[in-house]
Amino acid sequence: MECTDWKRKITGNENCRSNAKRKAFRFGILKRQSRPPEPPGSKKPFSADILKLIVVCAMLADHAAWLFLPFDTPAGQSVHFFGRIAAPVACFLLVEGYFHTRSVKRYAVRLGVFALISQIPYSIFQTGTIDFRPGPGRFSVLYTLLCCLLAVWIWDKMRDKAFCPFALAALSLLSVLGDWMMFAFLFTMAFAMNRGNLRGQCLWFAAAAVFMTGLMTASSMLDGNPFYSQLYQLGVLLSIPCLGLYNGRRAATARGKWTFYVFYPAHLLALILLKQAVS
């Protein structure tokens, strides 16, 4: 039986309920249910707050190492190896945040505003000058995460549209302008397209990580560096145990969601000032 009044028939007879719900999801009348948290007795210890803390610690250590530790020393390589955890965990949290947020628009605005706020300290950290000209890696990771958020939204809401692959391809190219570049885009889509299937998320993420490491190694060798100079990139795989320990619980307080936004420009500014002080 054809169901024409599908908004009203969502809870009606079995013949039209399935199609009606699909249309309701598509047009935003119903919201897809988020993955429920693990039961209170779950042995998984990591909430979203703990994952954010891991991102903050890994990012701080990695950025401090770029300023204060020689890159080609065991200490420098070890810290950068640990610091690689930040990117995939942040992408994973972005996907979880998308499916939990009450407003994707406000989520995108927050990322955009703090990307602008962070651009000056990020530019000084990277180049020593204030430079807004576009180029590979010229914009902060908040810009990259904004591209990733838009990609998840397009895939979630418009995956059956003919233009969806072209829109995703365009966003992947735009992500190259930001820190973590297209790799963050690949990580995010691996997590989004396999959400609810941890094994699938980890397998596709690991494939993207190996691809990233191979590409970075080849590029580095073309510049005359030894093949092992980019092996620290495999540190992104350290994030897999973290994701496996996630229990689905979101931030305990409203302040939790602002932690990373405030921390990102603040820690860059603090490191810049510290570097100038010791120099």
Q: How far apart are CA 202 and CA 197, in angstroms?
A: 9
pLDDT in tens, 161-198: 999 999 999 999 999 999 998 999 999 999 999 999 99
pLDDT in tens, 97-152: 999 998 999 999 999 999 999 999 999 999 989 888 888 889 999 999 999 999 99
Q: How far apart are CA 33 and CA 96, in angstroms?
A: 12
Contact 207, 55 (CB under 8 A): no
Residue with tokens 């233009």: 163
pLDDT in tens, 242-258: 999 999 887 666 676 78
Helix (H) or strand (E) holding 61: helix 48-68
pLDDT in tens, 201-212: 999 999 999 999
Residues 6 or more apart whose Cβ sits within 8 Å of residue 92: 51, 187, 191, 201, 239, 243, 246
Give me the phi and psi of 46, to 5 degrees please.
Answer: -95, 115
Q: What are the tokens at 195?
A: 């959400």
pLDDT for the residue 135: 84
Domain boundaries, the chain: 45-278
Query: Residue 237: helix, strand or coil by DSSP?
Result: helix
